Amino acid sequence: MTTAARAVPSRLLSQRDLDFLLYEWLDVLQLTRLPRYLDHSRETFDAAMQTCQRIATEHFYPINKLLDQEEPRFVDGQVITPAPLKQSLRVFCEAGLMAAGQDFERGGMQLPYTLEKACFAWFNAGSVAAAAYPMLTQGNANLLLAHGSPHQISTWVEPQLEGRFFGTMCLSEPQAGSSLSDIRTRAEAQADGTYRLFGNKMWISGGEQDLSDNIVHLVLAKIPGPDGRLTPGVKGISLFIVPKVMVDAQGRLGERNDVVLAGLNHKMGFRGTTNCLLNFGEGRFRPASTGALLDQPPGPAMAGAVGYLVGEAGKGLACMFHMMNEARIGVGLGATTVGYTAYLHALEYARSRPQGRPPKGKDPSAPQVAIIEHADVRRMLLAQKAYVEGALALNLYCALLVDQAAGDPQDAVREQAHLLLELLTPIAKSWPSQWCQEANSLAIQVHGGYGYTRDYNVEQYYRDQRLNPIHEGTHGIQGLDLLGRKVVMGGGAALQAFAGRVRATMAAASGEGPEWAAQAAALGHLLTRTLATVTRLHAAGDPDVTLANASVFLEAFGHLTLAWIWLDQALAAARALPKASAQEADFYRGKLQANRYFQQWELPKVAAMLDLLDQLDQTTLAMQDAWF
Amino acid sequence: MTTAARAVPSRLLSQRDLDFLLYEWLDVLQLTRLPRYLDHSRETFDAAMQTCQRIATEHFYPINKLLDQEEPRFVDGQVITPAPLKQSLRVFCEAGLMAAGQDFERGGMQLPYTLEKACFAWFNAGSVAAAAYPMLTQGNANLLLAHGSPHQISTWVEPQLEGRFFGTMCLSEPQAGSSLSDIRTRAEAQADGTYRLFGNKMWISGGEQDLSDNIVHLVLAKIPGPDGRLTPGVKGISLFIVPKVMVDAQGRLGERNDVVLAGLNHKMGFRGTTNCLLNFGEGRFRPASTGALLDQPPGPAMAGAVGYLVGEAGKGLACMFHMMNEARIGVGLGATTVGYTAYLHALEYARSRPQGRPPKGKDPSAPQVAIIEHADVRRMLLAQKAYVEGALALNLYCALLVDQAAGDPQDAVREQAHLLLELLTPIAKSWPSQWCQEANSLAIQVHGGYGYTRDYNVEQYYRDQRLNPIHEGTHGIQGLDLLGRKVVMGGGAALQAFAGRVRATMAAASGEGPEWAAQAAALGHLLTRTLATVTRLHAAGDPDVTLANASVFLEAFGHLTLAWIWLDQALAAARALPKASAQEADFYRGKLQANRYFQQWELPKVAAMLDLLDQLDQTTLAMQDAWF
């Protein structure tokens, strides 16, 4: 880290911690040996992160409260967002950051995904509501790069990477919510190969805004069969590009497509991100052109929003999972950073606020001490540190798995990274959403009454955070994904890969001394128990019973995962400690103490959850509607 | 309960549950055998509760969102609150409810405290921000009835009971926060026996408003010694009445006293309750009269806010604890009701919202089911039920202890009730603040994305609730009170009284069958462990170590207490079940299932906390500032 950064610690994130995680723990410089990243080095990585810290600090953090106070307004069918938001996103785009992970030939920086996420963390920490626009745009572009045609990529991806168009994902509908098999949006095939879409989409983040020249909606819809009916279930779902504004063969913007804002949702937090109900094909606009893809002269004006099929018909959900998985890790990272910045705000407050005296300092005429001197305040800060630094480590670990799954030269490494990523994605989304909310609550508590007032920042973080266990798949959905699919896929291959990683950490720790051996043994005991619990739950023979406590399993597995992540981080810190300067030693000792906190205070919670799961507890399943 | 209430269940509270708790579990009709309550009966109690349900439903609930959206404004030194708030509080006062617990001869209803709290729960559930004004006024009046002179009572209490004056408590100061020994407000004695106060008070709920003719501030301040210095520590603290407007010997309002609003705190929730920084004696007003107490002609205009000493000089904190203890139970009840109404909102939503199909119902063309059919939604609702009904039971149990401590004819009963009340007050305040917040979070989660929008009510409840672990003594303060004072007072007498109650419940449960015996045994095991943990913690020989984990002890003891409360409730339900109608049987089965949930899912958390405490864990104490 730079001396300047040390002199004025950031309230957003700790670059020292990012450096530790990237270089000392994950060894991301290993990626620079891959052909794709040969031009990269510690210097280029650091330069990218410094740029992001600077832009986030100067352009995102200062508007974060404004975005909360001046919610986007819906005026005459248009959305009005505060002008500074547009300016901040412009700076982001002009720095080339929308394409940070893309190929040099696309104008990108060709950063590894891990570095791209480390960079993006600064923006999330600066203003998670502002950062949602680029997060969705990047996910949209990445999906199309993977599944779109060359023409679709040149028409819709390139303007997104330049920041001229922004992107969305349109899955939910008012009557379907998380139950995607029940979506009713229809996509009617046209003779020219395009589609006309009719339906409503709910909870669309960035679904309408005045920030970009165009909006690229990725829309799940069903193509009616010959009888005009929609196939029930997820098998009938296809994926479509539906632009807000039609684009001609030269990439010029044309007439409005029939995608209309029906209403904005007014939220408790995350207010700077518009959240929309969109109507497709309600008839307000009747586009004649079918756009660039077919390069044909305009036909007659017709009803329906023009859409372009992405990939194969009926395989839309599989394509969309590309973006959903990325968005889930993205939501997890957003949750982490909202917790992280709140923690740093609380730490700063605790160091500067004098109040009271410790139990042994009873002399009431002695000066008051800074509240960080009180054991209970230290407890709250240490818990926050353990939650937010642990969550950041988890998110970056998953990002490295993305890099490894995509680009490692060895088949076995790629395969194992893919398996682990599948297993850990629900954890990467849900654990930070839950525990960084606890960190946000503790950040308020450290501030006392002030924390609850809008003069300080931590109350907004608490409100912003509460969305994270809901959007991109609720906690309950993540639990079903983990217990119902991920732990059993490939005959439990992902779970075995995970167990192998945990055991490797345990083996390394066991040789470091008695405290380490005890921590490794406790972790190993609960790992073994967790594997047995999975077997027991799936042997129940009744999917209702297996899945009744899926949320508890999610929480148990999440805490187990974080205990492993912490133990592994602590090993890296312990090895660096003997050679460290005094100031650096403080950093490493903080890591060791946060690990102790996690193993001592948090990991034991797993045992109680496994006890419950092992009983195939049916208390909640047996509860009847009439008994409430 | 009435048939009408059954036909349209209230979204605020369950009167059926209140009836169960009061009549079937606590047997509050026992109080009608006491001379003070001879005029009361089931009929008068029910009539009072029905009146409160009606007024809360018609006048409080409808303004709750308005109070959140139209925050009190500070205009030209005045506070402007929304007009409907004034009207609603007027209805409350005109129904005589400010004096519900007071003597008939004071114009009161002479209701037992337990019934007064059951009645007041409706107003808290209707609008906790509106209910804060009468809650504080009643607490203020009760303190003065206990510690004020007859003249003080006639001048300040009677107008409060009539609802013409409202009351506050003024403890915190900007530089002192929870550390009351550091307050600096000075009270300078005058020749006529009155005082002049100079200082600033922070976080004063209802400290300024346009709702009542006058405001009676109860203010902690220090009287300087002959050397002009303030005595350090809490021993120097005295208590004063400081009115907003002077009152003459005939009770007529006169000139303004020098209590001036310096600013309103803008909060995340609880927005309808003004929260003020008040300046005393800054010189804006210079009252000449010293008021009714001395019945003297006005003297020269002087600096300082006129104040009247309550009780003895230097004993102010002890007097104030009368109001603080009541306010702590009041905050606990407010927390409970905010959780309770959110739960009922979530229950209604879960019954009416169709979405998805259960794991075994895979046919995607089948209709969607109401989300209450999903095991994870039932889990969330059952958890909420266990938290909020458990919290209400705890609060009413404590209210009955107030009645018993004040009015039972037997010395031993009064003494034991007093001990238990002292022990349970920190739990009655902290447990609902923590776990009904969890209920509020689950109420949002049940609603999915809707729960996070301001179109629904549950997001406001979540914001309102977050204040409760802070005001009237933070969670940390409650932990220090419980572990540092309450469990050891009188040689552990309160703890022994508590253990006796728990063991009585265990003994009763043990004879009811194997499931009951197992629950009683698990509870007994953890009770024994908790008593041993107290001994171990206090044997540490170092108060810093003893108290380092006081918050964990608070949580462990709280969960143990609630497990006992639930087991005891369940026994009452089980005994009523055989004779119950089908509909009534559903109610009792719900109680039994919520008890199962608590014993099975929640109580085991206590073991992990005791494990930690038994190790005299010093992880947080050892953490250094520099390591963060």
Q: pLDDT by residue (tens digit) across A272-325?
A: 999 999 999 999 998 887 764 445 555 677 899 999 999 999 999 999 998 899
Q: Which two tokens stand for residue A199?
A: 């339906």
Cβ(A100)–Cβ(A162) below 8 Å = no
B chain contacts of residue A607, beta-carbon cutoff 8 Å = 608
Closest CA to A247 of A125, A160, A336: A160
Q: How far is CA B164 from CA A510, B72, B86, in A?
A: 72, 20, 12
Closest CB to A267 among B452, B462, B479: B452
Q: What are phi and psi of B279, to 5 degrees?
A: -105, 130
pLDDT, average across residues A549-570: 98
* Nearest Cβ partner for B547 among A182, A359, A605: A359
Residues of B with CB below 8 A from A462's CB? 268, 466
Report strand pairing: A214-222 vs A165-170. Answer: parallel
Q: In three state form, how does the secondary structure of B72-90 look?
A: CEEECCEEECCHHHHHHHH
The beta-carbon neighbor of A375 closest among B467, B544, B601 is B544
| 3-state class (DSSP) for residue B206 | coil
Query: Which alpha helices (DSSP H) does A127-190 contain, by range?
Result: 128-147, 150-152, 158-161
Of B559, B597, B562, B190, nearest to B390 (Cα)? B562
Evaluate whether B443 touches B570 at the Cβ level (below 8 Å).
Answer: no
Task: Return the DSSP state at B598.
Answer: I
Do residues B172 and B202 touch, judged by C-beta distance below 8 A?
yes
Residues A381, A610: Cα–Cα separation, whole Å: 28
Q: Considering only CB atoms, which chain A residues are within 8 Å of B458?
A: none
Residue A91 CB burial class (10 angstroms; 0-12, 13-18, ≥19): middle
Q: Is the dihedral of CA A367, A372, A373, A374 positive or negative?
A: positive
Q: Which residue, among A602, A353, A309, A433, has the nearest Cα to B608 in the 3D structure?
A: A602
pLDDT value at B297 more than 70: no
Mutate: best of B10, B237, B268, B450, partner A, most A CBs <10 A? B268
A627 to B441: CB separation less than 8 angstroms, yes or no: no
B472 is catalytic: yes
Kind and range of the H or E run holding B538: helix B514-538
Task: Round to whole Å and give the CA distance between B246 and B227.
Answer: 30
In this complex, how many residue pairs, one in chain A and one in chain B, have their CB atoms less than 8 Å apart?
A: 274
Mean pLDDT of chain A: 95
Within 8 A of B607 by CB-CB distance, chain A residues are: 608
Q: Is the pTM of this model over 0.95?
A: yes
Catalytic residue among B173, B422, B472, B602: B472
Q: How many CB atoms lie within 10 A of CB B226?
A: 5
**pLDDT above 50 for B5:** no
Mean pLDDT for the stretch of residues B53-63: 98
- For B69-100, what is each residue's pLDDT tens digit? 999 999 988 899 999 999 999 999 999 999 99
In degrees, to the nearest 5, what angle opens at C-alpha B392 toward C-alphas B388 and B393? 115
- B476/A467 Cβ within 8 A: no
Chain centroid to Cα B49, Å, comes to: 19
Q: Do B449 and A470 touch (CB under 8 A)?
A: yes
Determine the residue among A581, A587, A620, A625 to mutate to test chain B binding: the one whose Cβ has the most chain B Cβ atoms within 10 Å: A620
Contact B179/A356, CB-based, under 8 Å? yes
CB contact (8 A) between residue B544 and residue A474: no
A182 and B379: CB-CB below 8 Å? no
Quote the tokens at residue B456: 């629904």
Judge contact between B385 and B596, C-beta under 8 A: no
Distance CA A593, CA A344 (A): 17
Rounded to a whole number of angstroms, the distance from the CA of B388 to the nearest CA of chain A is: 12
Residues of A in contact with B608 (CB under 8 A): 604-605, 607-608
Instruction: State the pairing for strand pair A214-222/A259-264.
Output: unpaired
**Total Cβ atoms within 10 A of residue A226:** 5
For residues B77 and B146, which has the higher predicted lDDT (pLDDT)? B146
Which residue of chain A comes nearest to B457, CA vs CA?
A: A268
B432 pLDDT more than 90: yes
Rounded Cα distance, A154 and A151, in Å: 5
**Contact residues, chain B, for A623 at CB < 8 Å:** 378, 381-382, 590, 593, 597
At residue A411 the predicted structure's pLDDT band, cuts being 50, 70 and 90, is: very high
Which member of B368, B617, B623 has the closest CB to residue A182? B368
CA A590 to chain B, closest CA, distance in angstroms equals 4
Residue type, A282: E
Q: What is d(CA B356, CA B354) in angstroms, rounded to the nearest whole number?
A: 7
CA distance A235 to A304: 23
Going by pLDDT thresholds of 50, 70 and 90, the confidence category of residue B603 is very high
Cα torsion angle, B512, B517, B522, B527, sign:
positive
Q: Best mutation site among B68, B488, B623 for testing chain A: the one with the most A CBs within 10 Å?
A: B623
Would you say residue A4 has pLDDT above 70? no
Read out DSSP for B156-168?
IIHHHHTTSEEEE
For residues B62 and A304, what is the distance between their CA atoms, to the nearest angstrom?
A: 42
A465 within 8 A of A338, measured Cβ to Cβ: yes
Cα torsion angle, A178, A184, A188, A189, sign:
positive
Check pLDDT > 90 for residue B291: no
- Residue B479: list chain A partners with CB under 8 A: 376
Residues of chain A contacting B314 with CB distance shorter than 8 Å: none
Among chain A residues, the shortest Cα distance to B448 is held by A470
Catalytic residue, from A422, A472, A555, A602: name it: A472
Query: Which of B352, B452, B596 would you mutate first to test chain A, the one with the most A CBs within 10 A?
Result: B452
- Helices (H), strands (E): how many in chain A? 21, 12
Look at B627 and A587 and tell me if their CB atoms are within 8 Å.
yes
Q: Answer yes or no: do B548 and A623 touch at CB < 8 A.
A: no
Pull the structure tokens for residue B430.
């902290």
Task: For residue A368, give the nearest of B179, B471, B604 by CB distance.
Answer: B179
Tokens of residue B567, six digits: 């087991």
Give, as one character, the DSSP assignment of residue A419: H
DSSP state at residue B370: B
Substitution target in B229, B360, B371, B379 with the highest count of A β-carbons within 10 Å is B379
pLDDT digits (tens, 9 = 90+) for A485-536: 999 999 999 999 999 999 999 999 999 999 999 999 999 999 999 999 999 9
CB contact under 8 A, B484 and A359: yes
Q: What is the pLDDT of residues A361-410, one digit of tens each?
A: 778 889 999 999 999 999 999 999 999 999 999 999 999 999 999 999 99
Say whether pLDDT at B45 is over 50. Answer: yes
Query: For B600, which DSSP code?
Result: I
Q: Which of B232, B455, B623 sits opposite A364 (nearest CB)?
A: B232
Of A176, A382, A622, the CB nearest to B623: A382
Is there a contact between B374 and A620 if contact means CB atoms under 8 Å apart? Answer: no
Q: Which residue has the higher pLDDT, B43 or A359?
A: B43
d(Cα A286, Cα A299) in Å, to the nearest integer?
11
Structure tokens at A311: 């990939």
8-state DSSP, B469? T
pLDDT single digits (tens) B468-520: 999 999 999 999 999 999 999 999 999 999 999 999 999 999 999 999 999 99
Band (B363; pLDDT cuts 50, 70, 90):
confident
pLDDT at res. A178:
82
C-beta atoms of A356 and B177 within 8 A: yes
User: Could you give the 3-state DSSP secondary structure of residue A94?
Assistant: helix
Q: What's residue A2's pLDDT?
A: 43
Residue of A nearest to B622 (CA): A593
Spatial CB neighbours of B299, under 8 Å, sequence gap ≥ 6: B192, B288, B289, B290
Axis crossing angle, helix A411-447 with helix A375-407, rounded to the nearest 10: 160
Rounded Cα distance, B357 and B552, in Å: 40
Helix count and strand count (H, E) for chain B: 21, 12
pLDDT for A262 beyond 70: yes
Name the minimum distance, in Å, from the CA of A15 to any CA of chain B: 13
Among candidate residues B581, B579, B596, B574, the one with its CA nearest the CA of residue B522: B596
- ipTM for the predicted complex: 0.96
Single-letter residue type at A199:
G
Q: What is the DSSP letter of A23?
A: I
Out of B267, B351, B452, whose CB is closest to A466?
B452
**A172, A201 contact by CB (below 8 A):** yes
CA A398 from centre of chain? 11
Q: Which two tokens stand for residue B334?
A: 């407010």
Q: If phi over 0 gives left and psi between -120 and 50 gives alpha, with beta otherwise, what is residue B260? A: beta
